[in-house]
Amino acid sequence: MRFSLRGLRTQILAWSVLPTLIILLVVAYFSFWTYFRVTEVLVMDRNRELTRLLAGQMGLELAEYADRLESLDDGRQRAPGESPMPWLSYLDGHLPYLHDFDSGVVVVNETGIVIAADPRRLDLLGANWSDRSHFRRVQTQPVPILLSDIEHDGPEDHPVVAVAVPRLDDEGQINEIVIGLFAVQSHTGSAFYRSLLRLDLRMESRVYLVDSQGRAIYHHDPERVGTDVSSQAAVQAVQSGLVGAWRGFDGADEEIVASYAPIPHTLASLVEEESWTDLRRISLGYIRVLIAILFFAVLIPASIVSIAIRRITRPIKNLTIRANAISRGELAQIVDVPQGNELAELAQAFNQMSSQLGSLYGDLERRVEARTRELSAMNEIAGVVSQSLNLDDILAAALDKVLELMDMGAGTAYELEPGSDTLRLIAQRGLPSEALSQRPEVGLDEVVRRKHLAEGAQVWQQDRFPSRSLWQALAREGWNQVVMIPLVCRGELIGLLNLRARSPRSLGEQELHLLTGIGSQIGIALENARLYREAGALAVMAERNRLAHDLHDSVTQTIFTVNLLAGVIPALYEDNPEEAQLHLDELGQLTRSALNEMRALLLELRPAALAQTPLDELLARLGESTAGSARMPVHVSADHRLDIPPRVRVALYRIAQEAINNVVKHSAADQAWIRLRRRVVDDNQGVEMIVRDDGQGFDPSAALTDRLGLSIMRERANDIQATLEVESAPGGGTTVRVLWYAEETPVEQQMPDMAMSKQRS
């Protein structure tokens, strides 16, 4: 600071006395205390908000892993009515997709038993995870858990954290939970830790991530990863589940400012530390200035104290007022800079601090606003494309929404034909209605080169339009700007959105990046629609084949026999009327049998009617149909008016149907019996069904259960919590017994062996 006649030190030497010194001490102390408090409040508010935003961003990053797990089950599903692909096969086929889960992906059922795992973690099959924190949390609140507590479920009991996504049935109950595992490690070699490292951008702060037990999932000191840090005050504070900030001493007696916040939808929390000594270092210079000022004030004569107070304290008072305004949240505070004295430096530093704080908060608000707009746009697109599984409807709706978001004048939506470079026009907006019929198909190269689309969404101005005829036609029509949005799924181009505008608008890199993300989201919806359409076609074809097979094996054979008899009887009647009469009786029996078989097929085509028909009537029809087609008597004895739920009724009928089919195909029996009766055991109402034949039997220990349909019958019995018993011996016939109780008693308590096969002595 330069010495001058108008300088502060000169004024103190000229005007100060001891009373003035006391007043200056009070004013200086209050000013510095106010500045210190304002700085503390602003820093703690800033750190608390930044930590909360960082925790939210971590939640968004982790949500991408949850979306990846959720997409596994979506891809595993097939057409309605068909069973999904088994988890083990599906996980085995999608192992590259699960690479980021470096400790494996498993599936547990509603009781916590591991029922499937990817090929890296087959050692976990059958393990009981009902005591895991993430399993208990999902059981309490059936929503995805983006990050769990540390568990020792990795290879060789290595600590891991998990992302758990529940799969719910139509009633909102948990069917299965898909769990992805990340290894807890002290380096950043995994995708999970690299994503955490990307978020830790503030060089002056120290960040660590802890679970609900106070163990470090991620720490700025790699040696402390996986250790217990719950003794630290900030960790104890964040375990309350609140967002806050705290100033105190860490374990090394260093004064710090610690901010903390829980990460949404996880069991983890984020703690960020910053050295308080570094933050207040700038204030130490002001203390030295004040000491120098007070030292020289002792030498000032007492005669002019009042003038000295007014002249010296006016800028300090103004600074105090502005500092108090900042502490109330009014950041835009500027003080007048005194000319020619040392307070100018303090005023300039204060003004600079106020300007930087305002700029920081303004930039933060702009970033939050931009991110909010992007997320809002993505959510709107997701809401539109998820309303239908029809490919044309998805493209039309997506085109409308993108035009609305981008405020463009017109647009077209194309589907890329699989295995070709032909674009098929699906929808158009803002163009003549005959556009769909004029150019319904166009080559991809006529519109845009693949290499351009590989870079994401692209924008062309009229002066840069390619020389191809299609683009020149757009220029003649008055379109001055064209935006191409590739629709991509798993890295493959499957469609294209073409947006047009007569008045060009500026599109920055951020908007083009957003459009690229929208194109990927629409592409995923289109791929799902294609898969749904292909699955539906396959289901229709399978059902047609099944009906053709059933008609050929049953009704067609019977009608063929009827036709032969009808042609023989007239000629036979003249020679042997009695034998002709026998054939007429047989003809009538075959006709009734064909009618019963046709009724059975029609009944199976209507599942609702099958579930509503009484079980005794279903079994009677089954016996009549089998007797007519297989020429084998089936004796049916069933109690009437049995109170059986529709689901159980259908399952028992299917078991009887499978058992009778086995009798016809394998037993060489002369006749069969079906018995259905009511059973009561210990006040539990139940039903017993027995299917028996007098055929050749088999050895249960050597039988191929899949060939005889036993595994299918057991699965149906397990589905309704019934017990199944099969008794057979070579030459002794076969008996299938099913027992079901109305009370939902565990299957293992109803019968010691749920699906036992005994060899009759």
Tens of pLDDT, residues 107-143: 999 898 999 898 888 888 999 999 888 888 888 888 8
Asked whether the CA dihedral 275, 278, 283, 287 is positive or negative, the reply is positive
Residue 317 falls within a domain, yes or no?
no
737-747 mean pLDDT: 71
Angle at 375 between CA 374 and CA 378, to 5 degrees: 90
Q: Are residues 584 and 657 in the same domain?
A: no
Task: Please determine, for residue 2, whether its predicted confidence score (pLDDT) is greater than 50.
Answer: no
Question: What is residue 16's predicted lDDT score, i.e. its pLDDT?
Answer: 57
Q: Are residues 508 and 657 in the same domain?
A: no
Cα separation, 591 vs 597, whole angstroms? 10
Question: What is residue 506's predicted lDDT score, i.e. its pLDDT?
Answer: 77
Question: What is residue 740's predicted lDDT score, i.e. its pLDDT?
Answer: 92
Strands 723-728 and 755-759: parallel
Query: pLDDT digits over 19-70, tens only?
Result: 666 776 777 677 777 777 777 788 888 888 888 888 888 888 888 888 888 8
Most confident of 67-81, 87-101, 590-604: 87-101
Cβ-based neighbour number of residue 491 at 10 Å: 8
Lookup: tokens for 374 = 């992007």
Closest listed residue to residue 647, CA positions, set 723, 745, 722: 722
CA 120 to chain centre: 22
Q: Are residues 601 and 637 in the same domain?
A: no
Contact predicate 115/130, CB 8 Å? no
Residue type, 553: D
Question: What is residue 755's predicted lDDT score, i.e. its pLDDT?
Answer: 33
Q: Are residues 152 and 235 in the same domain?
A: yes
Burial label for 761, CB within 10 Å (0-12, 13-18, 19+), is exposed
Task: Please determine, for residue 600, whether its predicted confidence score (pLDDT) is greater than 90.
Answer: no
Residue 176 falls within a domain, yes or no?
yes
Domain with 641 in it: 633-759
The residues near 484 (Cβ < 8 Å, ≥ 6 apart) are: 447, 448, 452, 453, 457, 458, 459, 460, 496, 497, 498, 499
Cα separation, 356 vs 270, whole angstroms? 26
Q: Are residues 688 and 598 in the same domain?
A: no
Residue finishing a domain among 251, 277, 303: 277
Task: Please determine, for residue 689, whether its predicted confidence score (pLDDT) is greater than 70.
Answer: yes
Residue 294 falls within a domain, yes or no?
no
Q: What beta strand segments (E) does 475-608 contain?
A: 481-489, 492-501
Lookup: tokens for 729 = 């011996």
Residue type, 142: P
List C-alpha distances in Å: 51 to 64, 258, 259, 487. 20, 10, 6, 36
Q: Are residues 495 and 549 in the same domain?
A: yes
Dihedral pair phi/psi, residue 494, rounded to 5°: -125, 0
Question: What is residue 232's predicted lDDT score, i.e. its pLDDT?
Answer: 80
Average pLDDT, the chain: 76
Lookup: tokens for 676 = 């259905």
Cα separation, 661 vs 595, whole angstroms? 19
Closest listed residue to residue 658, CA positions, set 712, 722, 608: 712
Contact predicate 198/175, CB 8 Å? no
Most confident of 237-246, 558-567, 580-589, 636-645: 636-645
Residue 551: band (very low, low, confident or very high) from pLDDT cuts 50, 70, 90: low
Question: What is residue 324's predicted lDDT score, i.e. its pLDDT?
Answer: 79
Query: What percentage of the chain's residues is helix, strand, coil (to nearest 5)?
Result: 55, 20, 30
Question: What is residue 396's predicted lDDT score, i.e. its pLDDT?
Answer: 79
Q: In b/e form, how buried is each residue of 685-721, taking b as 16+ CB within 10 angstroms?
A: ebbbbbbbbbbbbbebeebeeeebbbeebbebbeebb
Q: Are residues 695 and 592 in the same domain?
A: no
Strands 672-681 and 634-638: parallel
Helices (H) and strands (E) in the chain, counts: 24, 21
Closest listed residue to residue 403, CA positions, set 433, 424, 377: 377
Residue 625 falls within a domain, yes or no?
no
Residue finishing a domain among 254, 277, 300: 277
Residue 721 falls within a domain, yes or no?
yes
Instruction: Compare 758 and 418 and report the one with higher pLDDT.
Output: 418
Residue 734: band (very low, low, confident or very high) from pLDDT cuts 50, 70, 90: very high
Task: Please determine, for residue 395, whether its predicted confidence score (pLDDT) is greater than 90.
Answer: no
Instruction: Compare 246 and 354 and report the one with higher pLDDT.
Output: 246
Question: What is residue 539's predicted lDDT score, i.e. its pLDDT?
Answer: 64
Cα separation, 226 vs 164, whole angstroms? 20
Residue 14 falls within a domain, yes or no?
no
Query: pLDDT digits over 173-217, tens only?
Result: 888 899 999 988 866 677 787 777 776 656 667 888 888 888 988
The residues near 580 (Cβ < 8 Å, ≥ 6 apart) are: 569, 572, 573
Dihedral pair phi/psi, residue 381, rounded to 5°: -65, -45
Q: Are residues 196 and 62 in the same domain?
A: yes
Residue 352 falls within a domain, yes or no?
no
253-269 mean pLDDT: 86
Lookup: tokens for 742 = 């109305």
Whole-prediction pTM: 0.38
Residue type, 148: S
Dihedral pair phi/psi, residue 631, rounded to 5°: 55, 40
Most confident of 193-207, 302-316, 567-581, 706-720: 706-720
Q: Are residues 598 and 737 in the same domain?
A: no
CATH of the domain at 478: 3.30.450.40
Number of domains in the chain: 3
List C-alpha distances in Å: 404 to 78, 376, 410, 429, 698. 34, 13, 10, 11, 71
Task: Please determine, for residue 378, whether its predicted confidence score (pLDDT) is greater than 60.
Answer: yes
**Rounded percentage of the chain residues whose pLDDT exceeds 90:** 7
Residue 370 falls within a domain, yes or no?
no
Question: What is residue 435's predicted lDDT score, i.e. its pLDDT?
Answer: 47
Residue 676: band (very low, low, confident or very high) from pLDDT cuts 50, 70, 90: very high
CATH of the domain at 260: 3.30.450.20
Asked whether the CA dihedral 584, 585, 590, 592 is positive or negative, the reply is positive
Q: Are residues 407 and 537 in the same domain?
A: yes
Q: Are residues 599 and 738 in the same domain?
A: no
Q: What beta strand segments (E) does 661-721 contain?
A: 672-681, 684-693
Rg (CA), the chain: 40
409-429 mean pLDDT: 82
Cα separation, 100 vs 97, whole angstroms? 8
Task: Please determine, for residue 446, whether its predicted confidence score (pLDDT) is greater than 80.
Answer: no
Long-range pairs, 356-363, Cβ under 8 A, ≥24: 357/42, 357/326, 357/331, 358/331, 358/332, 360/46, 361/331
Q: In b/e form, how buried is each residue of 209-224, taking b as 16+ CB within 10 angstroms?
A: bbbbebbbbbbeeeee
Contact predicate 572/583, CB 8 Å? yes
Q: Are residues 393 and 448 in the same domain?
A: yes
List C-alpha distances in Å: 432 to 408, 453, 499. 16, 27, 15
CATH of the domain at 718: 3.30.565.10
**Rounded percentage of the chain residues whose pLDDT exceeds 70:** 71
Question: What is residue 473's predicted lDDT score, i.e. its pLDDT?
Answer: 77
The residues near 157 (Cβ < 8 Å, ≥ 6 apart) are: none
325-346 mean pLDDT: 69
Question: What is residue 563's predicted lDDT score, i.e. its pLDDT?
Answer: 67
The secondary structure of residue 228, as a DSSP letter, is: B
231-248 mean pLDDT: 81
Dihedral pair phi/psi, residue 151, rounded to 5°: -125, 155
